Amino acid sequence: MRLLLVEDDLALSRSLKMDLESAGYAVDTATDGEGGEFLGMTENYDAVILDLGLPKISGLDVLRRWRAANNSVPVIVLTARDAWHEKVDGFKAGADDYLGKPFHIQELLARLQALLKRAYNQSQSALQIEGLILNEEQQAVIINGEAINLTAIEYRLLRYLMLHPGKVLSKAHLGEHIYEYEADPDSNVIEVYINRLRKIVGNDLIATRRGQGYVFGQKP
């Protein structure tokens, strides 16, 4: 899944980006409200982590503009821990959750995972289908009881497919949700990764819809 992190503290931004990528996410960053607003309006994200105290445009105004434009991407706002009014204003502007600074990365990851579960109507920490289990908390993939090692891209791709069973997903759509903004992969790269996953999880779980894309969980 692909996240947008909007944070003007460069050291914190770099640290969070590394931690989030280690947790299996593709992460784009912006260091001011103007850049964050643009990326949120023009790119497809599964969730946003948004600091409210941003230069150029405040995080609160960024959030209001997204919501006014019917952008419903899930948003976690970062606030000063004792600034209760910022939390209230954030929720009124359309935030889905908040986290006070300073915070522990594990709390952010837990809140992010809970937010994404709600967004995808997912009640369990593990995605399962026909002997294939993907545990998001442990970043583990198990097939018929055997642990499988995947690359970061393979893991993101498999997780996204499993979160959208039965849906036709084009190469372009998949690329938008597993690669960062600066990446510019050829669409054939997605096909390469799909073929790799088929060898790992079995051909029957990922069907090709010619001219449309791929469907997970429906046999060809």
Consecutive 10-residue runs of the chain (220 residues): their mean pLDDT? Answer: 95 95 92 97 95 94 96 92 78 92 92 88 76 82 88 90 90 86 69 91 88 79
> How much is the pLDDT for 1?
85
Pick from 76, 156, 88, 155: which is nearest to 119 by CA?
76
Kindly report, as residue ranges, where domains of CATH 1.10.10.10 are found in the chain: 126-216
Assign 79 to helix, strand or coil: strand
CA-to-CA distance for 198 and 11, rounded, in angstroms?
A: 39
> How much is the pLDDT for 107?
94
> How much is the pLDDT for 82?
65
CB 129 within 8 A of CB 43: no
CATH class name, domain 126-216: mainly alpha
Q: Which two tokens stand for residue 116?
A: 């994404």
> How much is the pLDDT for 184?
62
Dihedral in degrees, nearest 10, Cα atoms 12, 17, 19, 24:
160
Q: Which two tokens stand for residue 62?
A: 């960024």
> How much is the pLDDT for 87?
82
Characterize the bridge pairing of strands 168-169 and 213-216. Answer: antiparallel
Architecture of domain 2-119: 3-Layer(aba) Sandwich (3.40)
> How much is the pLDDT for 138?
75
Kindly report, as residue ranges, where domains of CATH 3.40.50.2300 are found in the chain: 2-119
